[in-house]
């Protein structure tokens, strides 16, 4: 009944919802997006980071998935066999928080959210192969987390040690970093403590070198992401050295790591972490020190907190010997020393380390200069007294040059000083000399150190993948046998904030030991959700295989040709996924590719205003913008807000990423309902280039919608002419040739902008193209030019606004399905011009223009420019000093 929607003026108006429903019905009935392996075709695997099912889509999702869809559809038109799958990163903390709030089990909440969000995704018309959908909280999926975890244990890639966590002493529970606000628990307001508990780790540091080196095999990754990953891995070449000491009659060594062994003669103290064994020992008979160590354990484990807190320390009363001089060096406990990095102890060289400098000046420790500028200006140098002053060492004022290094031996910038036999050496030479002597005494050697730490995966939480281990009083820790996998998570628990509910589930907890058959208990810790998202890209290729984690099909599709996701994942998720892919290879599950993602597009965050209010307990409540009345200052800047519910002010926290936890996400649903999916998609692409941060504002949506209405109206008005148009032939009249030139110019721009992923200008090329077509002059061949131009416009638009393109393409008789239409080719012949207009500059300032034949050479152009009226006026008879000709662009006359 509604098949022919453009039937004889019955719906001349653009009816987005009808058009979109019909197009989606057509795609569903033809299984248009089912991906089938076909080794005869070049493949294109386009993957967008799967969403956490938080309840509703937000604009960040729309942006991410529209980018992926545009690329998928564009490549399909270029003849690729495309795969675009979708799934759900379905384990995680928000489901537990929701359970605490409304009593619904995380499983039900999660599956309900997935159902709703899937509908939203489908209404946006994405070309997704839903037959490959994966959901990480299903046993079919997480079975393989468990299976690979056991392989990693067997190979020594997974192991157990203690971890430091945030502990809420009131709720008696481990807190996520996100749940710590200014060092206090988010629900209780209690001061958070650091606590040591056992946990499982993945030895990602074993792969540090490979993860670093293979960044060079990824030319399709943004440079900034590779830089961030390289800095995160943080390979540094330094020296591990020991300060000997005697304890209870025994010879011991305090090990430290330093990248600046050349400053060893400048050591005036050593500092150890509060958790360091030496600190613990010293505190035994020193209640004041014990109290200080306790205080160091207050506050969160977050690096940002640790790095910004006031540096404090206390003497231990213990001394160690300087490894070269044997001098006594005092041992301090420093709250800024991290047990997890290096040896948990650092040597203090206040003269040449800014942090040590601050510490030493605070506690009155000596500052000994051991580096000086290689060529000093005399202090009374009259030619440059300021530079001479700058060269002088001042133990009270920090100067940047104190920490300079000299990698060059021949012409060093700085050299060692006051260092006995190690004086007057470049950094490299000094390190070598010092290491040689340390090595002879057995007190040090060169060492490669990584900033990267092993990946702790244990979570004391319910809504995650169970760790497949059993604790038996007789056999110890026993692996769950493969044939008993998966260890299923009960789906009816409701967490209440007081620890892991699995501990209160005898049906989960109690189990017979697989080894001895005696009574035993299951491990109740679950895995970090980053584990789930570390291999889903491979699972999509083999989603229906119940017998293997991945199979042969992965070798066809992998690596992912284009991965798209938020820049916030630049380090952790991407590093873990790269690591896991290599681990799969090393346990014999190769996907045929050492790196999972060949090309990466990091989408900029979609931001919105954030509003909150402190609770009386010191916690924090966030408000959604639509719950507030906003107040602006005279310039229209947002300054504050009032709650609609209680009329009281709330705090404005600036802008930040749209997120569930901050409640500042904007739901695209009303946009889709009012204007349609095509408008939402078009506007999202038009708003900004994909890598750029985008502050959300929906002004402009109307414009996008207006454009699509014009596209539709143009199709309706010109339907008859286009259908009846003959093929292009013969020479066009000048005005029509100009129009055709514009059409192909815009096509050229759209093609190159698509290739470089700048979708906003693809959209504007479409707008320019329509503007040109609407102003088409009359003349012989007009219908043919319009028919060609509109077919090009529809194909340019189809990746961005596939529904309207689909509908017009079929209705106007261009073909049976625009999905199988090829991407249009630029007709270079249409772009040719006989005459060019060049900009005329005098001394770099725009002063006019000249017209030259397209074939004119530089000398001709130069002569024409100099002869021009404007140039003659400026030159006033003199000869120009210089003339610069930029072919096809401008002439600059310097006089």
Partner RNA sequence: GCCGGGAUGGUGAAAUUGGUAAACACAGCGGACUUAAAAUCCGCCGCUCUAAACAAGCUUACGGGUUCAAGUCCCGUUCCCGGCACCA
Using CB under 7 A as the binding rule, the residues of this chain from 233 to 252 that contact RNA are 234
**Closest distance to RNA from the beta carbon of 636 (Å):** 7
Coil, helix or strand for 816?
coil
Distance between CA 299 and CA 181 in Å, rounded? 10
Question: Is 223 among the residues that bind RNA (CB under 7 A)?
Answer: yes
Q: Which of residues 409-438 bind RNA (CB under 7 A)?
A: none
Task: Please tell me whether the peptide bond between 559 and the residue prior to it is cis, using omega within 30 degrees of 0.
Answer: yes
Yes or no: say if 603 and 64 are a contact pair by the CB < 8 Å rule.
yes
In the complex with RNA, the residue whose CB is nearer, 418 or 874, is 874
Chosen residue from 4, 30, 227, 498 binding RNA by CB under 7 A: 227
Q: Which of residues 645-664 bind RNA (CB under 7 A)?
A: 654-657, 659, 661
Yes or no: say if 265 and 418 are a contact pair by the CB < 8 Å rule.
yes
Question: Is 199 among the residues that bind RNA (CB under 7 A)?
Answer: yes
In the complex with RNA, the residue whose CB is nearer, 363 or 652, is 652
Distance between CA 508 and CA 494 in Å, rounded? 15
**What does DSSP say about strands 606-614 and 649-657: parallel, antiparallel, or unpaired?**
antiparallel
**Closest distance to RNA from the beta carbon of 479 (Å):** 21
Q: Which of residues 451-470 bind RNA (CB under 7 A)?
A: 451-453, 455-456, 458-461
Question: Is 717 among the residues that bind RNA (CB under 7 A)?
Answer: no
Chosen residue from 113, 533, 542, 599 binding RNA by CB under 7 A: 533
| Maximum alpha-carbon separation in the chain | 108
Q: Please choose, from the candidates 418, 222, 440, 453, the residue with its C-alpha nearest in 3D space to the C-alpha of residue 344.
A: 453
Q: Which of residues 573-592 bind RNA (CB under 7 A)?
A: 573
Q: Please choose, from the candidates 54, 59, 65, the residue with its C-alpha nearest in 3D space to the C-alpha of residue 114.
A: 54
In the complex with RNA, the residue whose CB is nearer, 415 or 685, is 685
Q: Which of residues 624-643 bind RNA (CB under 7 A)?
A: 636
| DSSP sequence for 500-525 | -GGGG-HHHHEEE-TTT-SEEEE---
Q: Which of residues 71-100 bind RNA (CB under 7 A)?
A: 89, 91-94
Question: Is 689 among the residues that bind RNA (CB under 7 A)?
Answer: yes
Half-sphere exposure of 469 (CA within 13 A, CB side): 23
Question: Is 845 among the residues that bind RNA (CB under 7 A)?
Answer: yes
In the complex with RNA, the residue whose CB is nearer, 28 or 846, is 846
Q: Which of residues 29-58 bind RNA (CB under 7 A)?
A: 52
Distance between CA 566 and CA 690 in Å, rounded? 10
Chosen residue from 571, 721, 745, 831 binding RNA by CB under 7 A: 571
Question: Is 837 among the residues that bind RNA (CB under 7 A)?
Answer: yes
Tokens 């936890």 correspond to what residue?
Answer: 661
Look up residue 844 and give its two tokens. Answer: 């770099």
Yes or no: say if 849 and 857 are a contact pair by the CB < 8 Å rule.
no
Tokens 């190979």 correspond to what residue?
Answer: 155
Chosen residue from 277, 703, 813, 815 binding RNA by CB under 7 A: 703
Alpha helices in 491-634 (DSSP H): 506-509, 529-532, 536-539, 553-557, 572-586
**Closest distance to RNA from the beta carbon of 453 (Å):** 4
Chosen residue from 687, 773, 785, 808 binding RNA by CB under 7 A: 687
Q: Which of residues 852-891 bind RNA (CB under 7 A)?
A: 882, 884, 886, 889-890
Q: Please choose, from the candidates 611, 519, 530, 469, the residue with its C-alpha nearest in 3D space to the C-alpha of residue 154.
A: 469
Chosen residue from 71, 83, 279, 570 binding RNA by CB under 7 A: 570
Query: Number of residues in contact with RNA, rule: CB under 7 A?
Result: 101
Q: Strand 328-334: give its sheet, edge to edge.
A: 313-321, 328-334, 269-272, 345-348
Question: Is 710 among the residues that bind RNA (CB under 7 A)?
Answer: yes
**Closest distance to RNA from the beta carbon of 321 (Å):** 31
Question: Is 810 among the residues that bind RNA (CB under 7 A)?
Answer: no
In the complex with RNA, the residue whose CB is nearer, 74 or 462, is 462
Q: Which of residues 137-196 bind RNA (CB under 7 A)?
A: 163, 165-166, 174-179
Look up residue 327 and give its two tokens. Answer: 């001098």
Yes or no: say if 128 and 33 are a contact pair by the CB < 8 Å rule.
yes
Other CB atoms within 10 Å distance of the CB of residue 62? 25
**Closest distance to RNA from the beta carbon of 693 (Å):** 5
Distance, C-alpha 748 to centroid of its chain: 31
Question: Is 215 among the residues that bind RNA (CB under 7 A)?
Answer: no
Q: Which of residues 766-795 bind RNA (CB under 7 A)?
A: 767-768, 771, 774
In the complex with RNA, the residue whose CB is nearer, 336 or 557, is 336
Question: Is 686 among the residues that bind RNA (CB under 7 A)?
Answer: yes
Question: Is 448 among the residues that bind RNA (CB under 7 A)?
Answer: no
Yes or no: say if 147 and 552 are a contact pair by the CB < 8 Å rule.
no
Chosen residue from 524, 758, 798, 810 binding RNA by CB under 7 A: 758
């Amino acid at each position: 009944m509604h098949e022919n929607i453009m039937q004889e003026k019955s719906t001349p108006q653009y009816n987005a919802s009808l058009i979109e429903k019909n197009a989606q019905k057509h795609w569903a009935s033809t299984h248009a997006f089912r991906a089938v392996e076909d080794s005869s075709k070049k493949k294109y695997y386009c993957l967008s980071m799967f969403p956490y099912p938080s309840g509703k889509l937000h604009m960040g999702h729309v942006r991410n998935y529209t980018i992926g869809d545009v690329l998928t559809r564009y490549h399909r038109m270029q003849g690729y066999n495309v795969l675009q799958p979708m799934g759900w990163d379905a384990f995680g903390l928000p489901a537990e928080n929701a359970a605490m709030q409304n009593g619904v089990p995380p499983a039900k909440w999660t599956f309900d959210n997935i159902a709703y969000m899937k509908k939203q995704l489908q209404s946006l018309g994405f070309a997704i192969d839903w037959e490959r959908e994966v959901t990480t909280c299903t046993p079919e999926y997480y079975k393989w987390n468990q299976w690979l975890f056991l392989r990693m244990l067997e190979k020594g890639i997974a192991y157990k040690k203690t971890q430091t966590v945030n502990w809420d002493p009131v709720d008696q529970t481990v807190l996520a970093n996100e749940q710590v606000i200014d060092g206090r628990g988010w629900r209780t307001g209690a001061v958070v403590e650091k606590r040591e508990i056992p946990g499982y780790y993945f030895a990602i540091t074993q792969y540090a070198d490979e993860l670093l080196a293979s960044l060079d095999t990824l030319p399709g990754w943004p440079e900034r992401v590779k830089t961030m990953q390289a800095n995160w891995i943080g390979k540094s070449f330094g020296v591990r050295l020991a300060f000997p000491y005697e304890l209870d009659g025994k010879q011991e060594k305090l090990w430290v790591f330093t990248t600046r062994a050349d400053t060893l003669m400048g050591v005036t103290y050593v500092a150890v972490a509060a958790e360091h064994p030496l600190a613990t020992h010293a505190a035994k008979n020193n209640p004041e020190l014990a109290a200080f160590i306790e205080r160091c354990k207050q506050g969160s484990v977050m690096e940002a907190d640790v790095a910004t807190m006031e540096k404090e320390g206390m003497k231990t009363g213990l001394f160690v010997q300087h490894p070269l001089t044997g001098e006594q060096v005092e041992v301090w406990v420093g709250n800024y020393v991290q047990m997890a990095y290096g040896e948990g102890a650092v040597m203090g060289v206040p003269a040449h380390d800014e942090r040590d400098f601050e510490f030493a000046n605070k506690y009155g420790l000596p500052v000994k200069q051991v580096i000086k500028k290689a060529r000093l200006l005399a202090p009374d140098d009259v030619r440059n007294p300021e530079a001479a002053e700058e060269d002088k060492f001042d133990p009270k004022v920090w100067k940047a040059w104190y920490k300079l290094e000299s990698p060059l031996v021949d012409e060093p910038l700085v050299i060692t000083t006051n260092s006995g036999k190690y004086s007057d050496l470049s950094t490299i030479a000094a390190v070598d000399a010092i290491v040689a002597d340390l090595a002879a005494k057995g007190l040090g050697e060169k060492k490669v150190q990584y900033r990267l730490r092993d990946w702790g995966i244990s979570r004391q939480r319910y809504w995650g993948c169970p760790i497949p281990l059993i604790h038996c009083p007789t056999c110890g820790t026993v692996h769950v046998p493969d044939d008993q996998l998966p260890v299923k998570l009960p789906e009816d628990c409701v967490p209440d904030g007081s620890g892991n509910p699995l501990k209160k589930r005898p049906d989960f907890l109690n189990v017979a030991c697989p080894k001895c058959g005696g009574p035993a208990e299951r491990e109740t810790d679950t895995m970090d959700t980053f584990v789930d998202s570390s291999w889903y890209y491979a699972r999509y290729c083999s989603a229906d295989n119940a017998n293997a984690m991945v199979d042969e099909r992965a070798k066809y599709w992998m690596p992912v040709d284009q991965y798209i996701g938020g820049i916030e994942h630049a380090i952790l998720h991407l590093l873990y996924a790269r690591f896991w892919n290599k681990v799969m290879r090393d346990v014999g599950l190769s996907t045929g590719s050492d790196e999972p993602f060949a090309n990466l597009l990091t989408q900029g965050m979609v931001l919105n205003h954030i509003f909150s209010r402190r609770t009386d307990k010191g916690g924090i409540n966030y408000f959604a913008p639509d719950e507030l009345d906003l107040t602006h200052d005279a310039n229209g800047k947002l300054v504050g807000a009032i709650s609609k519910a209680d009329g009281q002010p709330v705090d404005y926290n600036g802008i930040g990423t749209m997120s569930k936890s901050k409640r500042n996400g904007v739901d695209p649903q009303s946009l889709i309902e009012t204007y349609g999916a095509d408008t939402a998609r078009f506007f999202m692409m038009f708003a900004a280039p994909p890598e750029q941060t985008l502050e959300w504002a929906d002004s402009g949506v109307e414009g996008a919608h207006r454009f699509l209405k014009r596209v539709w109206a143009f199709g309706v008005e010109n339907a008859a002419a286009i259908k009846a148009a003959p093929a292009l032939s013969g020479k066009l009249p000048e005005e029509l040739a100009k129009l055709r030139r514009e059409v192909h110019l815009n096509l050229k721009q759209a093609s190159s902008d698509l290739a470089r992923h700048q979708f906003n200008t693809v959209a504007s090329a479409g707008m320019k193209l329509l503007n040109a077509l609407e102003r088409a002059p009359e003349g012989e061949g007009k219908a043919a030019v319009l028919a060609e131009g509109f077919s090009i416009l529809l194909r340019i638009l189809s990746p961005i606004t596939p529904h309207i393109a689909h509908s017009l393409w079929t209705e106007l008789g261009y073909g049976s399905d625009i999905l199988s239409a090829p991407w249009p080719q630029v007709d270079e012949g249409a772009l040719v011009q006989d005459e060019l207009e060049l900009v005329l500059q005098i001394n770099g300032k725009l002063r006019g223009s000249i017209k030259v034949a397209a074939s004119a050479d530089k000398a001709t152009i130069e002569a024409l420019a100099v002869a021009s009226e404007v140039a003659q006026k400026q030159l006033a008879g003199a000869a120009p000093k210089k003339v610069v000709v930029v072919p096809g662009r401008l002439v600059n006359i310097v006089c």
